[in-house]
Structure 1
Amino acid sequence: MRYSLFALLLTILSCSPDDGTHAVIQTNRGDIEVLLYPETERHSENFIKLAEEGFYNGTLFHRVIPGFMVQAGDPESRGAGPDQPLGRGGPGYEIDPEIGAPHLYGALAAARTPNPEKRSSGSQFYIVTGELQTDNTLDNIERIKGIQYNEAQREAYKTVGGRPDLDQEYTVFGEVISGMDVVEGIAEAERGAYDRPREDVVIENIIIK
């Protein structure tokens, strides 16, 4: 089952649910609970700060692609018109990268512009849905990127899926621990221009636990 992601990731990271802060992303499609990694301190603390300030309230999941990810966190999406291009807004700063964890199914990661330092957007994030991977694909990723997956990571990519092509390019700073059915529903929403859902998917609030 793909929903065994959480147990697999805890094995990979040698951590427990008490090792990080939990956040509940409340949307008009349902709730998504995430665990924020303490290892990615800059990203996790920034997400907590923005959530507690209400920065995300009323913003949209503005870009969704089945078999890939759902993206949110652009303040310009709040009240945006139906054909308005989105994805360039933020709080006015970027975050230095904390790249390490893989892009497994359910990974919470920071979006970014194409910049050589791989600095993250100050607010935009995405949740990976992805696809099941094969040993051949993982071998090719390792060769191209010069990385080495351990046995647990390879097993997770083959049994729960993800997007290994994004590894070493973006910072993963958490993971979904409940509500992947909500994420999948958002990913499968009917899309219009710029991969935006035709019916707005709104973040109503984010509660830090």
Structure 2
Amino acid sequence: MRVVFLLFFFLLSQFSSFGQTNRLLFKTAFGDIKVVLYDFTPKHRALILNAVKEGIYADALFNRIIDGFVVQGGEHDMDIEKRESADLLGVKPRLNPEFDERAFHKVGALGAGRDNNVLKASFLNQIYFVVGKPVSDKDLEELEHKKGIKYTDCQRDNYLKYGGQPRLDLDYTIFGEVYEGLDVLLKISKVKTDNLDYPLAQIQFELTVIE
């Protein structure tokens, strides 16, 4: 019932789905996921559009899946760490964060992964979708106090009705959201994984631009 309700909500009230310029298609064996990229996070939008153009996400995998949290894909944390550790110059390319109150960790949000760098800058080739869990007034109040932030009426209403991961707000950049195929994302979020959150069977995705 919750899935049906969420799908109904997404079809009727995705405020950001319209008026934005670019869209992406994640094609998987489970079905298609269509995403709108936010014009108000232009650097991250340009980053992933260029990555698609350059084939960086060719044969990409969803390689970290946690039900009720995220479905993550692209370059894995451990692979990034291994590659950067081997660089004698210690180069660690990142993209500075783009925080906007319209871009928050609601169900279906598309974000950029990162490590614990103090700038909260994003990895260049790692993305995640928010699957989320129920959120209460108490949760939001505690987060506001802990993080020194104030959730907008729009954010609060969305979180209380549909859940998400508000604890990640203003720590990780959100730069898009699902506008079609949320059911596919939720299905992927429930696959069996090992103790490191790798899916037991590979879940590949093909990423293309919707013209």
TM-score, normalised relative to structure 1: 0.86
The match for 1:82 is none
**2:134 pairs with 132, 137, 140, which one?**
132
1:155 Cα deviation after fit: 1.0
Alpha-carbon contact 1:27-1:202 (below 8 Å) kept:
yes
Aligned equivalents of 2:13, 2:187: Cα separation in 1: 23
Q: How many residues end up aligned between the 2 structures?
A: 197
Alpha-carbon contact 2:17-2:36 (below 8 Å) kept:
no
Amino acid at match of 1:43: H
The match for 2:45 is 44
Runs of 4+ in 1 over 2 A off after TM superposition: 5-9, 85-93, 204-209
The match for 1:23 is 24
**2:159 pairs with 157, 160, 170, which one?**
157
Amino acid at match of 2:161: T
1:51 Cα deviation after fit: 1.0
Amino acid at match of 1:168: L
Residue deviations 1:110-130, cap 9 Å, x none?
000110000100010100011
Measured on the aligned residues, the alpha-carbon RMSD in Å equals 2.2
Say whether residues 1:105 and 2:118 are aligned partners: no
The match for 2:147 is 145
1:190 Cα deviation after fit: 0.6
- Percentage of pairs with the same residue: 34
What secondary structure does 2:19 align onto?
Answer: helix
Amino acid at match of 1:142: E
1:208 Cα deviation after fit: 3.6
Aligned equivalents of 1:26, 1:50: Cα separation in 2: 16
Residue deviations 1:181-203, cap 9 Å, x none?
11111110010241011110001
- Structure 1: any 5+ residue segments left out of the alignment? 78-84
Q: Identify the range of structure 1 (52-61 vs 104-113) with the bigger mean alpha-carbon deviation.
A: 52-61
Say whether residues 1:32 and 2:24 are aligned partners: no
**2:208 pairs with 195, 206, 209, which one?**
206
Aligned equivalents of 1:52, 1:97: Cα separation in 2: 22
Say whether residues 1:2 and 2:6 are aligned partners: yes
Residue deviations 1:49-84, cap 9 Å, x none?
11122211211100000000100011x79xxxxxxx
Say whether residues 1:94 and 2:98 are aligned partners: no
Amino acid at match of 1:57: A
The match for 2:172 is 170
Residues 137, 90 of structure 1: CA spacing in aligned structure 2 closer, same or farther, 3 A cutoff?
Answer: farther
The match for 1:120 is 122
Residue deviations 1:94-125, cap 9 Å, x none?
11110222101110000001100001000101
Amino acid at match of 2:187: G
Alpha-carbon contact 1:5-1:106 (below 8 Å) kept:
no
Aligned equivalents of 2:74, 2:148: Cα separation in 1: 31
TM-score, normalised relative to structure 2: 0.86
Residues 88, 106 of structure 1: CA spacing in aligned structure 2 closer, same or farther, 3 A cutoff?
Answer: farther
